[in-house]
Structure 1
């Protein structure tokens, strides 16, 4: 899934479930920022205010295996039930790390985040939970099970859905997954994403209203999915975003203006960047990768990062999100180790 689901749709789900507008915004921003948190910053190095974050995404899928295992299965490809009816392949292969929608592992990770009361952790867990639908039947690790047929896919590493490109993540998109049996091959993302939205709503609604009757939850879920289905069916992505923002101002969705997503907002509020080479906070694509490669090897080119306020940085959204990433990683690893990872011997994990 991309920003459209992880931020805009997630906000509407959270607001409709009962989160106040401010909390829903924090949850939704955290959900999307999981994908944008791909740089390790060393802030106020060699001072009492030093801080370094963990990444929850990487643009470099050729990183050491240990680093990949700490990112993909925990934040994007939660291992599910290898025997799930949704995971039936033409070649009959099974894998313990295969992602399946709404798995027990994913629900346990989300439940843990909800129990913590930390809205940043909730957003991170919602990201991972929703991705179990979009990323179903892919593995967050190097494996031939991820391979797709076709000449265009062959040069790409078989990790996650790299071979499938952006197809699994896009709203209003259909594509074939030829690895699966014929009845599962057609993939209609809107149907898949609406299923994810419905289940996420149920979990968040029960958190906000533990005593709500199931019938009431089902009725409200149907209204939410009805609104989302109409908007997600629009062809123009910009028109869809505009419609999400418009219905956010309705009372049942919080009645407040939903800001457009800005991936620099939180870090710009907290961190000052002294640019020596390329501004990393805004660098995109290959420019970011090249700059990271060069600055890792040529220290005078490294940008210098400091807190904008040494006395208050721990109250910033960026810092709170980064601490939540560390907590999510620790707790998710514990859950997955107990259920899945202890049964495996993966090199360098």
Structure 2
């Protein structure tokens, strides 16, 4: 998934779940920032204070993608949550251990991840952690069938668009199948390029078992949007088992229509279309202005550290401790620790 879903759709789902606009903005920003927080290391301040942050994403062309530990600590907990074959703790899917690592939509592991986010909702970074969890949860639909490590399990053959699902360029299939197959490492859905991320696309491919997989991304993304809304309704209720309604029929149809008819390949252009739909009052919560700046002017990072990010030492301000940027990084540390050290081991998975 790209910024149109992780930011705009998440914002819509948060508002429809019952969050006020300011809190929905935090959740949606954090959800998208998981894709944009590619830097790690220690921030030094002029009063000798320090803050260590981790990255939650690597660009696809990044030497760290060839490092096994880096993959386990980034792609596994934040983008390709292992699914254990959709089975509960104590049970194992057929086949080798790698089958436990493959991402599975709405798996018991994913639900347990959301549950822990609700249990710890009162932390200062509770909303930010919810946004992180919503990114990971949504990706279990888009990234299903792939794993967040270098492995033949991520092989893709004969990927192609089905019908005219939105004007997606068929030449991309040709490039993928004829030229790039051996050039792209089998990490995540790298060998499927952006096929899993296009909300309007119907497509098929053959997986590493040789089985034909057919996907309607719109149906999958609608399921994800409804699941996010329900998860956030439970977060507001403070009850991970609450009986909640999810999306209303009218809003769900509006979401589906936007997925199907917004057919630009560029995620930023689809994001713009979503922001215009929100501003024009397409949804039942009425017209609202929503913005996102992942870096530079207006970003969380600028608000926390100032305009010059490259300084070796930053001026310390007391408000840094309560900044959205710090709370986001606090949240991703808490999320990663729980997933790697508590959640996955309870399913018999040792990831790092």
* 1:169-180 equivalences in 2 (<5 Å): 169-179=197-207
Kept after mapping to 1: 8 A contact 2:129/2:331 = yes
Match of 2:162 in 1: none
Q: In the alignment, does 2:106 pair up with 1:106?
A: no
Q: In the alignment, does 2:83 pair up with 1:80?
A: yes
Could you tell me how far apart the structure 1 residues matched to 2:311 and 2:306 are?
8
Instruction: Quote the RMSD (CA, aligned, Å).
Output: 2.9
Could you tell me how far apart the structure 1 residues matched to 2:332 and 2:292 are?
19
CA displacement at 1:232 relative to structure 2: 1.4
- Post-superposition Cα deviations, 1:266-303, rounded to whole Å, max 9, x if no partner, equal 111111365xxxxxx7xxxxxxxxxxxxxxxxxxxxx3
Q: In the alignment, does 2:226 pair up with 1:226?
A: no
Could you tell me how far apart the structure 2 residues matched to 1:307 and 1:20 are?
33
Q: 1:231 to 1:269 in 2, by over 3 A?
A: same
- Post-superposition Cα deviations, 1:95-146, rounded to whole Å, max 9, x if no partner, equal 1101000001111111111222200000000000000000000001111010
CA displacement at 1:167 relative to structure 2: 1.1
Moved more, 115-124 or 224-233: 224-233
- Post-superposition Cα deviations, 1:140-199, rounded to whole Å, max 9, x if no partner, equal 111101012234221111110111111111221222122188996222211110111111
- SS for the counterpart of 1:258 is coil
Match of 1:14 in 2: 14
Alignment equivalent of 1:267, drawn from 301, 310, 313? 301
Match of 2:24 in 1: 24
Could you tell me how far apart the structure 1 residues matched to 2:223 and 2:272 are?
20
Moved more, 326-335 or 265-274: 265-274
Q: In the alignment, does 2:54 pair up with 1:54?
A: yes
Kept after mapping to 2: 8 A contact 1:270/1:308 = no
| Structure 1: gaps of 5 or more residues | 85-90, 275-280, 282-302
Match of 1:206 in 2: 234
- Alignment TM-score, normalising by the size of structure 2: 0.79
Match of 2:137 in 1: 129
Match of 1:67 in 2: 70
Kept after mapping to 2: 8 A contact 1:15/1:252 = no
Kept after mapping to 1: 8 A contact 2:86/2:104 = no
* 1:1-349 equivalences in 2 (<5 Å): 1-44=1-44, 47-59=47-59, 60=62, 61-82=64-85, 95-117=99-121, 118-149=126-157, 150-151=177-178, 152-179=180-207, 185-209=213-237, 217=245, 220-237=247-264, 238=269, 241-247=272-278, 250=281, 254-255=285-286, 257-264=288-295, 265-272=299-306, 274=308, 303-307=310-314, 309-333=316-340, 334-342=342-350, 349=352
* Number of equivalences: 309
| Structure 2: gaps of 5 or more residues | 88-94, 158-176
Q: 1:31 to 1:94 in 2, by over 3 A?
A: same
CA displacement at 1:72 relative to structure 2: 1.0
